Amino acid sequence: MRSQIAVILDKGLEFHFNVDEAASMAPDIARNWLDAQFTALDCEPLRASGKVLTADKVLRVTEAAGAALFADEKWAADYVQAVHAALAKPVIRVDVPAMAVTY
């Protein structure tokens, strides 16, 4: 089964990625990558409690990255591997306008 990630940004902009299983990232490295991007992109927690779930982190990083970072092939490839490893699902949809991550 092929693994895929779909990213929906504002204004109907969509990106679809096939996950390269051969270049998979370890889950702990994926979480560290997402943590680093969350900080580097100056993301804010979604919840008032300040608790940041992995799916929330994916949403905020995706939102902050926007089309500019998804146009960077290296960054996009790292994002795909990190999201796939951190969420451990074969099909992932990150919908920024709806603020939802679905599997």
Work out the percent of the chain whose per-residue pLDDT is above 90: 83
Tokens of 4: 């895929």
For the segment 78-94, the average pLDDT, to the nearest whole number, is 96
d(CA 82, CA 35) in angstroms, rounded, equals: 10
Neighbouring CB atoms inside 10 A of 24's CB total: 14
pLDDT band at residue 7, thresholds of 50, 70 and 90?
very high
Residue 23: burial class (beta carbons within 10 Å; 0-12, 13-18, 19+): exposed
Q: Which residue has the higher pLDDT, 46 or 36?
A: 36
56 pLDDT higher than 90: yes
Over residues 21-34, the pLDDT tens digits come to 777 899 999 999 99
Q: Which residue has the higher pLDDT, 48 or 30?
A: 30
SS3 75: helix
Tokens of 97: 């306008």
All structural domains of the chain with their residue ranges: 4-102
